[in-house]
Structure 1
């Protein structure tokens, strides 16, 4: 049965909401002697519960109904609630349980509403009240000419009557059309009967309503009307003064804001190798994504392709590339150390791609990875394909790669090495891989006493790096250093060094180091240059006296200092902003005047702090996200990633954040009371990266499950999706789920020619490999053929040991007892002709002792000539009797 047809409207602007008032059920004052009456148009009383408006269970008050009754009156105490708009419903539709679940699950396309009706909630489902159920029971029994109504629950009685007489249901519906309830139609009763027979009716009657989503106050209808009114006002009054809008309007800002509010999800991909860690646009159409990988010795079995992908918004494709990989190393401990795991796993190990950038002036893209290389690419503007131009090898994992906007096209890289960690490359277009570079090191290699700092377990590594953006500072490279353990254990870092680091500023053209006059020895979390001015900000550990206990990080604003004051080129702080978060993930700057700007910090506590430098050092906003999707124990800021995506739109009225709660939120920073505009995207995993296209028309967001979402302002080509039907629990219907499109895998790369230790790999059959082990005396055959092949005198050359089976995990030490008991040598029988016996529990028994004279008796028995006739002999041979008994013939012992 189709649902009730209401006036159409955009379903995206609708949401299910409960009524605002709780209405108690008035007690009916109809005595049993009174004649039955047809209920009036008032809805059943209800009580709100969560997102549904539900009534309390109706009492089954017995009434003696008459067939010609046509009206009843709700009698009760006169209260203000009786004036509620919920009592003025003229149409009370009833939809089936399956349809209600579909609507609640989000399939709202078949419910349309007139925009003029969206001011107040509109009911799309109203359960039958107790009086209505009693009337339907009376009508059904009268139509079927059944005896007088029994004193039992009317709904159960109606169910039993209809179940026993299903062929009379059309007659009941015809009778209802002749004597209809106010606000109900035949379709409503038909849907109710279906739910009764399927036993899907609710115990607590409810009213389900639809109204505009509170988080979609900038929905399509409002945006459209806003644009029309702005156009009209501009035509009438121009762009000067207050005019017909009755307030001062920045029309350019308003039009941009309305256009940007059309952002909607257009495509979704899945199947990337891990967390989306870096995103870079190569045009307004194509983008590159890099992901993390499982590459540790204990989790290499989960390593998979898809660590580097190229996306195309126009073609709606996401294509994988295999270049960032290494030969799978040999693991000596754990489950990945076994030969079976080595044979079953891919010979290549794909590495995490953690940084990327694009040089628009020279049309080159850069990606850095834990394979200790930086790859240089030429990507098509459509994002359909890209080719490798060259690579730069480093001595450690390359965490950062940043292309400058300087005309020379310099590129900076930063690796996990204690000295000369930063490189600045001058690109040679004819030999990109052979481009020359200059190395830089921080000065924190010695302590205050001049003693060299140990770098065996920890060292200062580059944590953040940015080139200047304004024309006069594009040659300046800003690098922040932080202490980091080289073993993966932060306890290796001395306590007094954990909040230390260094802030360095170099001239990439001359190699000269500029001076930074403050916070140069603090732990640096993030740095960022002003988009148009010669200034930058840096988030560091706190520094200063009389700090408030809540201050755990600080953000300083630096400007060029007077050269005469310091004698060298320098930057000095002009403002310090206090932040309560332990760590800062993302910094942004949005100018709001010539001299001042908004500064934001997305932090690990799930909040984004916003400052206006024109006001004070206190945040004007704390933009909060919800609890993280992934569970954590202990301190959230130590275990949770927090806010990993912050970006400004085209105006200061739109600011975007994405956090570990999986939600991308839109904010209006200029609104001091309620800055939240709407929830733009809800991902199934924590949001880990995001970036706008250069023209701000598209947004790409990545999460921790390897999914990539593309949102666009414009209508895009429809993405092909796979449809999956999921049965609805407790119903015969199905819910339609659109599964995201998988990335396009890359072809399998050719197998490596050398192993991780540089030895040539010879591809042979298993039999040839086995013969080579025997010929090299690495394996040898045991004299007892029942044991087979064992270790040879040169077996140690293979390095194929189960170290975890030996004492102290040393293959030269004896086996542990539990492994020694399982060796074939321990199970070998003491004499070759005696079988190993077991009892009924399967436990090995000692062989029987030799009995004196048993051998002579056996020889005498063998010499006896036992006559067997030919027929018996043939039958015994058919049953498998062996007439040629040898000396080593063993009889199977019975248990």
Structure 2
């Protein structure tokens, strides 16, 4: 049926350009993943949309701690958000791949709960789920891997067979699983050079690999040619064929050809290139097969989509061009395709006259490729203020999800499932418990336990983590009156600080302290004890929430100063809580301290209530650059 798409829902606030989209099977929910850049480190790199509620919810989880990140996060954030490169809805679960070296599997009900994390050795750039060999997931990172989801500890490395003379270091660029039933156990992986030069130079090399995945074995199938840089791979929905967009290295093509689209037929045991379409663009973003015809398309960085008819391979059928980019592009030193991403979305609607493309000009265009070149444009379906980076139809083609440069999301619809009036989607930050679950990740738990087991820290039953008998620093030099060149570990504390140490008699019996100092020291102990009790209270409340309790929403920031571990078998140090102030200035290895970390504050006359007040500001990681209207705060 012919459908007419109209703008219906929108929102802006993702971390950056939206680069991955996924729809649930019933078309009522969607996921959108975005780029995250180090210099900004914005959250909202993965969001979950619900059309029935007209809402979007942040899904935190794809991020790295300073211990694992390759670069130091800006602004002293606790972790660095990472680009979500691929997302796919499989049954009731959402699969997402990211530069944090993981694929995460989420159960989606009223919210998103991560039920499995598949760890990789490098950034994950893509994944493909088999529709004909259930429970098999292929992923592309620095190498290619196959995961049996019936046993998620089972990870098989897919072999890559390159000629001995090929010495160039390559990385995976794309992976795709066969769509037609006869191709359902075939996987194709593409590779290319890690970094392309800024200027257009000689054609780049790469590799193309095909694997056959059987019940008890994995075979490799040789394809020729296979030594080009692979940009994109697409399987035919009806034939045992796939197409690649690649460089032209070693191929007999016209001199003005920069890239090429090749169609490989695998219906027999040997592969055959049935069609080869030269392309003038420097880079190809996406290749598509027309689902009801003989047409092949290539959407490129030059702002155009090229269309060929497989029956007439030596003649280009159409060049479907967009306008200039809405982004500022400098052509002084580079050609346009070096700075602009061009056509980011190319997809087929319900009929052959509904081929849609979206580009950096911010326009979604509809084409009828059966028409003559001068009449091929049906019209502009929608226009946006930012460039279009991705597009995806729901399974029934009633909704079209559009991702924008700069973090925008739009839903176009030909049959709204609820309120037909166009509206902005309401955004909800993730509840504090979602951050808590990330903070209690295996990495942090392992690091905390290491400190405990080594004796560097001890866990006090009331006051939490304190210095242990084997504490090795750091030490506060200002509390020791150090002279130049002295090691703080070998210099005792100044008298006024030694008298305020954690270990020692009750504060009221420390006769060398005057009454004012005793009041201040006792206040620190009281605050620490109160916080310890609050941690236990919050943990109990979180347990209630997971079993059906509620969360109140108000205020202007997610404020949670009481993150506690849910591990009951082994004591865990919470590395993120605004915990009792632990002094790192022990006089001997066996002593611990619990004092004001600043000498000036030693003379503080404020009450414990006054001292608490300074800690009720949200941490940087909870502050959204897009100034949220609604935030989640624990009662």
* Alignment map for 1:113-124 (pairs within 5 Å): none
2:534: which partner in 1?
Answer: none
1:324–1:350 contact (8 Å) kept in structure 2 = yes
* Alignment map for 1:794-873 (pairs within 5 Å): none
2:125 paired with 1:399: yes
1:589–1:600 contact (8 Å) kept in structure 2 = yes
Q: State the shift of 1:654 in Å.
A: 0.7
2:133–2:185 contact (8 Å) kept in structure 1 = no
Q: In structure 2, how many angstroms separate the alpha carbons of the residues matched to 1:388 and 1:482?
A: 32
Q: State the shift of 1:651 in Å.
A: 1.1
2:477 paired with 1:779: yes
User: Does the residue aligned with 1:472 lie in a helix, a strand or coil?
Assistant: helix
2:56 paired with 1:318: yes
1:369: which partner in 2?
Answer: 98
Q: State the shift of 1:715 in Å.
A: 3.5
1:359–1:405 contact (8 Å) kept in structure 2 = no
Q: In structure 1, how many angstroms separate the alpha carbons of the residues matched to 2:473 and 2:180?
A: 70
2:404 paired with 1:699: no
Q: In structure 2, how many angstroms separate the alpha carbons of the residues matched to 1:649 and 1:321?
A: 30
Q: State the shift of 1:403 in Å.
A: 0.5
2:29: which partner in 1?
Answer: 286
Cα shift readout 1:755-782 (whole Å, capped 9, x = no counterpart): 88974388999xx99xx99985552458
Q: In structure 2, how many angstroms separate the alpha carbons of the residues matched to 1:545 and 1:290?
A: 36
Q: In structure 1, how many angstroms separate the alpha carbons of the residues matched to 2:325 and 2:487?
A: 57
Q: In structure 1, how many angstroms separate the alpha carbons of the residues matched to 2:377 and 2:488?
A: 71
Q: In structure 2, how many angstroms separate the alpha carbons of the residues matched to 1:348 and 1:681?
A: 37
Q: State the shift of 1:377 in Å.
A: 2.2
User: Does the residue aligned with 2:311 lie in a helix, a strand or coil?
Assistant: coil
Q: State the shift of 1:372 in Å.
A: 0.8
Q: State the shift of 1:538 in Å.
A: 1.2
Change (3 A) 1:792 1:705: farther
Change (3 A) 1:372 1:789: farther
Change (3 A) 1:638 1:513: same
* Alignment map for 1:48-127 (pairs within 5 Å): none
Q: State the shift of 1:680 in Å.
A: 1.6
Matching residue within 438, 442, 454 for 2:160: 442
2:381 paired with 1:680: yes
The structure richer in helix per residue is 1
Q: In structure 2, how many angstroms separate the alpha carbons of the residues matched to 1:281 and 1:791?
A: 63
1:503: which partner in 2?
Answer: 208
Q: State the shift of 1:349 in Å.
A: 2.1
2:191: which partner in 1?
Answer: 481
Q: How many residues align?
A: 464
1:364–1:379 contact (8 Å) kept in structure 2 = yes
Matching residue within 293, 308, 311 for 1:614: 311
1:778–1:792 contact (8 Å) kept in structure 2 = no
2:42 paired with 1:348: no
- Measured on the aligned residues, the alpha-carbon RMSD in Å equals 3.4
Q: State the shift of 1:388 in Å.
A: 2.3
Change (3 A) 1:619 1:328: same
2:187–2:210 contact (8 Å) kept in structure 1 = yes
Change (3 A) 1:782 1:684: same
1:745: which partner in 2?
Answer: 429
Change (3 A) 1:545 1:694: closer
Q: In structure 1, how many angstroms separate the alpha carbons of the residues matched to 2:439 and 2:114?
A: 19
Unaligned runs of 5+ in 1: 1-255, 563-568, 722-737, 796-895
Cα shift readout 1:602-643 (whole Å, capped 9, x = no counterpart): 100000001111233322111111111111222111121111
Cα shift readout 1:471-527 (whole Å, capped 9, x = no counterpart): 111000011111114xxx858x9987x6111111001223101121x2211111111
2:246 paired with 1:540: yes
User: Does the residue aligned with 1:743 lie in a helix, a strand or coil?
Assistant: strand
* Alignment map for 1:562-581 (pairs within 5 Å): 562=268, 569-581=269-281
Higher relative contact order (CA 8 A, sep 6+): 2
1:425: which partner in 2?
Answer: 147
Change (3 A) 1:650 1:794: farther
2:48–2:57 contact (8 Å) kept in structure 1 = yes
2:15–2:407 contact (8 Å) kept in structure 1 = yes
Q: State the shift of 1:793 in Å.
A: 2.8
1:530–1:589 contact (8 Å) kept in structure 2 = yes
1:368–1:401 contact (8 Å) kept in structure 2 = yes
2:487: which partner in 1?
Answer: 793
1:780–1:790 contact (8 Å) kept in structure 2 = no
Q: State the shift of 1:441 in Å.
A: 3.6
Change (3 A) 1:588 1:790: farther
User: Does the residue aligned with 2:337 lie in a helix, a strand or coil?
Assistant: helix
1:271–1:742 contact (8 Å) kept in structure 2 = no
Q: State the shift of 1:365 in Å.
A: 2.6
* Alignment map for 1:575-614 (pairs within 5 Å): 575-593=275-293, 597-614=294-311
Cα shift readout 1:695-730 (whole Å, capped 9, x = no counterpart): 001100010121110111114434899xxxxxxxxx
Unaligned runs of 5+ in 2: 452-456, 490-635
* Alignment map for 1:295-314 (pairs within 5 Å): 295=38, 299=39, 302-314=40-52
Q: In structure 2, how many angstroms separate the alpha carbons of the residues matched to 1:662 and 1:460?
A: 33
1:499–1:523 contact (8 Å) kept in structure 2 = yes
Cα shift readout 1:349-390 (whole Å, capped 9, x = no counterpart): 222111112334xx433111111111112324xxx5333221
User: Does the residue aligned with 1:398 lie in a helix, a strand or coil?
Assistant: coil
1:811: which partner in 2?
Answer: none
Q: State the shift of 1:561 in Å.
A: 6.3
User: Does the residue aligned with 1:268 lie in a helix, a strand or coil?
Assistant: strand
Matching residue within 322, 347, 351 for 1:647: 347
1:266–1:718 contact (8 Å) kept in structure 2 = no
User: Does the residue aligned with 2:378 lie in a helix, a strand or coil?
Assistant: strand
Q: State the shift of 1:465 in Å.
A: 1.0
2:236: which partner in 1?
Answer: 530
Q: Return the TM-score normalized by structure 1.
A: 0.48
Q: In structure 2, how many angstroms separate the alpha carbons of the residues matched to 1:545 and 1:427?
A: 40
Q: State the shift of 1:752 in Å.
A: 3.5
Q: In structure 2, how many angstroms separate the alpha carbons of the residues matched to 1:718 and 1:328?
A: 44
Q: In structure 2, how many angstroms separate the alpha carbons of the residues matched to 1:268 and 1:693?
A: 16
User: Does the residue aligned with 2:20 lie in a helix, a strand or coil?
Assistant: strand
1:521: which partner in 2?
Answer: 227
1:782–1:789 contact (8 Å) kept in structure 2 = no
Change (3 A) 1:616 1:742: same
2:177: which partner in 1?
Answer: 467
Q: In structure 2, how many angstroms separate the alpha carbons of the residues matched to 1:409 and 1:671?
A: 43
Q: In structure 1, how many angstroms separate the alpha carbons of the residues matched to 2:251 and 2:99?
A: 40
1:385: which partner in 2?
Answer: 111
User: Does the residue aligned with 1:405 lie in a helix, a strand or coil?
Assistant: coil
2:219: which partner in 1?
Answer: 512
2:8 paired with 1:266: yes
Cα shift readout 1:645-701 (whole Å, capped 9, x = no counterpart): 000011111100011111111111112131112212222211111100000011000
Q: Return the TM-score normalized by structure 2.
A: 0.67
1:781–1:790 contact (8 Å) kept in structure 2 = no
Q: In structure 2, how many angstroms separate the alpha carbons of the residues matched to 1:648 and 1:789?
A: 75
Q: In structure 1, how many angstroms separate the alpha carbons of the residues matched to 2:70 and 2:304?
A: 43
Q: State the shift of 1:571 in Å.
A: 1.2
The structure richer in strand per residue is 2
User: Does the residue aligned with 1:638 lie in a helix, a strand or coil?
Assistant: helix
Change (3 A) 1:758 1:548: same
Q: State the shift of 1:794 in Å.
A: 5.8
2:172–2:191 contact (8 Å) kept in structure 1 = yes
1:307–1:353 contact (8 Å) kept in structure 2 = yes
Cα shift readout 1:736-766 (whole Å, capped 9, x = no counterpart): xx8x44521102312746988974388999x
